[in-house]
Structure 1
Amino acid sequence: MNAATPLGHRVGAIVIGASAGGVEVLSTLLPALPETIRAAVFVVLHQPPDRQSILAEIFSRKCKLPVREAEDKEPIEPGTIYFAPPNYHLLIEAGARIALSVDDLVQFSRPSIDVLFHSAADTYRERLLGILLTGWNEDGAAGLLAVHAVKGITIVQDPQSAEAPVMPQAAIRMHSPDFVLHPRAIADLLHGLEPAPATSGTSPARAAPAP
């Protein structure tokens, strides 16, 4: 694939992982999402475990889509951006629900990007778009490989554009992503996403990709 490849109706959900420098990049990406898309968006940004997050409040003022902090067992709403709360893993459950977990740290992190990406890959499979951004550890590399394994779409921030290049470099070493792009180019790709058709009475795991 290249940056000009149309993704069309293929994307049913988007997962994004970031660490150091992530707020700045997310401030370019998330406002680019068009209000017409039906894909739910799930974001893990590494944060101090002992502080209340204000990410949902910050990005609610920037984005066209509704933004909220994820809550355990809540139904997933299409066209909504969910941030993982501090000190909780964010997972996607069968039946289109969110789950929060206090299981052990993964790659020294909770929330872990790997945990989100693996659970979303199990649920959305080829309809998943995974994006890995700047960060100083290797969290997210294995998770992005899981997205690739189910034929989802994988995007990695160009390490040369990253405040912390370790995370995108680790992902590129592990597999060849579909796209390696600067943040502005990722934003352009997201802005061009077309709305996926609504599915009635069908869980994300079983919703067939549109042609």
Structure 2
Amino acid sequence: MLFGDNFDKIKSLKILIIGVGGVGGHCLDALWRTGVSDITIVDFDTYDESNQNRQIGSEALGESKVSTLLQKYNGIKGYDVKVTQEWVANFDFEPFDFIVDAIDDVAPKCALIAKCHKKLISSMGSAKRIDPTKIEVTKLSKTHNDPLAKKVREELKKIRWNKDVAVVFSSETPITKSKGSFVGVTGAFGLVCASYIIRKALEK
């Protein structure tokens, strides 16, 4: 058995995934299939045609992402709510062992980092890239070639947040200025987030 006696550590994890789109959905899938049963997801969005190239559950056009995934993954819990700075300020993150930040909105993303950095893995920009071999886990302060990460660093600096946080990012330079995502990269971001959690859990 892959995890041997350590499998109980994995089964007992309490995970919160914020954002279940192209990154968070694949993270959910990997953790659930690995045996993590106590998973809570948060998202407010519905599936549309633009999601169908990369998002798990996107065949349910027009349906809530949270509601769709609650039906697909037995035993998980969810909140169909928009993540804002106010929501982050009021939500109780204490019960969770790990938190996955898979949202793109900079303000709530920064709020999550500032409040939960010790148990957070934060996904930076995965769009406009095609090479999953350039993905790595590092600290936010060490990211480069990533406009989202740069914006997050700038906003955190404005509030004088001087700590650091674990992130998944790609060193690949975005190949276009227009919109577009490749599931080979966005999905891989989610899988790397899941791998990070499993590895950290086994270290404890």
TM-score by length of structure 1 reads 0.42
More helix by share: 2
Q: Of the two, which has the highest radius of gyration?
A: 2
TM-score by length of structure 2 reads 0.43
